[in-house]
């Protein structure tokens, strides 16, 4: 049998806070040792496996870099891709509009 993990060791292993580690004890399963909470490494590994998420098979090539965002296209629900150049053009256009509005205002 492997050495049981403390809540602190579990928190470090999962990269979560100590309070989150304690909150996960019912989900992962734990061993009560004289009022102390301990976790079996195999149960922690099983929990990690259950938490894994990834792209749907065949969708791996659709994952975009962080410089590409998607937003709904006008008049439909299909996403429209926007790259960094398009975003910069939109920002420049909005900047010009707002400066034009300000210059026309009389004080």
pLDDT-based confidence at residue 68 (cuts at 50, 70, 90) = very low
Residue 67: the pLDDT is 47
Residue 47: the pLDDT is 94
| pTM, two decimal places | 0.51
Residue 43: the pLDDT is 95
Residue 74: the pLDDT is 58
Residue 85 burial (CB count, 10 A): 9
Q: For the chain, which residues make up each domain, given as ranges?
A: 5-55
């Amino acid at each position: 049998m492997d050495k049981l993990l403390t809540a602190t060791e579990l928190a470090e292993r999962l990269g979560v806070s100590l309070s989150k580690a304690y909150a996960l004890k019912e989900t992962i399963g734990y061993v009560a040792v004289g009022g102390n909470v301990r976790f079996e490494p195999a149960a922690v590994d099983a929990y990690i496996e259950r938490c894994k998420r990834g792209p749907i098979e065949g969708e791996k090539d659709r994952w975009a870099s962080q410089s590409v965002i998607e937003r709904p296209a006008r008049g439909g629900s299909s996403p429209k891709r926007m790259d960094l150049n398009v975003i910069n053009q939109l920002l420049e256009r909005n900047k010009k509009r707002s400066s034009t509005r300000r210059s026309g205002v009389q004080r």
